[in-house]
Chains A and B, each alone.
Chain A
């Protein structure tokens, strides 16, 4: 089944050319990409992710607000009882912040040197490792 990815642009950052290129590249790699437009709050991102039941939330962030946005998204997912959507990020994220975000539960971070192929490979890897598709298939089989 296609991997379903939410490409989210939080906050005041008004640059979404990169996010759109990412969306196209993921589509061309056979993924189903939900694009939500600019200026998303963490609440909007989580609502969209839950309703769309995506495998992955990819947050593109260039504004420097990553230490606010990622924790908020992870907290809201927990509050909505969702523990099987993988959160990843990309953009301008200081090296020192990477380990902190990973400790919070962000599974992968891509810097501005990453190619779209790096993204595709990375998403396939985190979905294989942390994704729920297999879990749910197994659960459905065991109750069938």
Chain B
């Protein structure tokens, strides 16, 4: 069967998508209004969303570069949302994931956008889910979300992706320990990258044991993303899961709702703490007019009242 001509997305649509993501990211526009400049998309065929996560330096960007290549050869248009960490101190960020995806620059079927994680500690940015929805609306067939380098607790990608790839590398010392607790609960596919390094087979075997103990059937694959070895098997697993990715929707939506509830609650609580009533309590504490414990109780009451009785 001859491959279909790879689909592209008009450059003007790509520009408008980029601007819509900025509007959401910076709060210039509401989630519903940001996409108004984009052409409507059939609701029945949203983009297939692939999450790629794992510890720093595991080769996530290089693997994403290979996945772009493979999806393109199948004809799919691909948007990538690559998240890098913001400094908690200065709020600045260096966004460098594109460096490994340069060769797709001239391809009008590939859109790559970096996002700083901003105040989020969950491995993706607070507005990444909106950016995915916008990329889907702009007509991209596949959206790949690359998280910041994660440890055990930055799991929010599960709330936005149809399938989650957890990438690790051999001989990260206790790499399996690192990814054990949280990440194994969200993986649909494990990839042991840099499989030409010593210890790859042991890492794979350890992962397979862990998967078996958890009672799941999660594939454990090996790749050398740098030269493309093993990427075909990863694509085969993704294609297989794409056919029934709605089965992941329940897990994804549940997680996403929990995150949204928490985010909104935190925002409301912060509004109260930074408002006049909160500030006056903090001032009294600073002036030693009340104890720390009393200040804590009063602030907590204030914040919880706001969170619980919000519209």
Contact = CB atoms under 8 A, between A and B. Distances in A.
A34 B93 CA distance: 8
Contacts of B11: 50, 80
A26 B92 CA distance: 7
B81 to A, nearest CB: 11
A35 B98 CA distance: 8
Nearest to B28: A140
B18 to A, nearest CB: 4
A106 B90 CA distance: 28
A44 B102 contact: yes
A35 B102 contact: no
Contacts of A133: 26
A33 B95 contact: yes
Interface string B7-31: 0000110110011011101111100
Contacts of A33: 92-95
B95 A81 contact: no
B94 A53 contact: no
A37 B25 CA distance: 25
Interface string B101-127: 010011000011110100000000000
B40 interface: no
What class of interface size applies to chain A in its complex with B? Answer: 20 to 34
Given A35-B99, A53-B22, A140-B29, A30 B92 contact: yes
Contact of A43 (B26, B98, B105, B114): B105
A2 B18 contact: no
Interface string A50-73: 111100000000000000000000
B295 to A, nearest CB: 30
Contact of A35 (B86, B94, B116): B94
A23 interface: yes
A27 B90 contact: yes
Contacts of A2: 91-93, 116
B87 interface: yes
Contacts of B114: 34, 52
Contact of B87 (A1, A23, A27, A36): A27
B96 interface: yes
A75 interface: no
Given A35-B96, A52-B18, A81-B15, A29 B113 contact: no
A34 B90 CA distance: 16
A140 B36 CA distance: 12
A69 to B, nearest CB: 16
A68 to B, nearest CB: 19
Given A37-B102, A43-B105, A80-B11, A30 B90 contact: yes
Given A36-B99, A44-B102, 4 more contacts: A28-B90, A35-B94, A53-B18, A144-B33
Interface of B: 11-12, 14-15, 18-19, 21-23, 25-29, 33, 86-87, 90-96, 98-99, 102, 105-106, 111-114, 116
Interface of A: 1-2, 23-24, 26-37, 43-44, 47-48, 50-53, 80-82, 133, 136-137, 140, 144
14 contacts: A2-B92, A23-B94, A26-B92, A27-B93, A29-B90, A30-B91, A33-B95, A35-B96, A36-B102, A50-B14, A53-B18, A53-B21, A82-B15, A136-B23
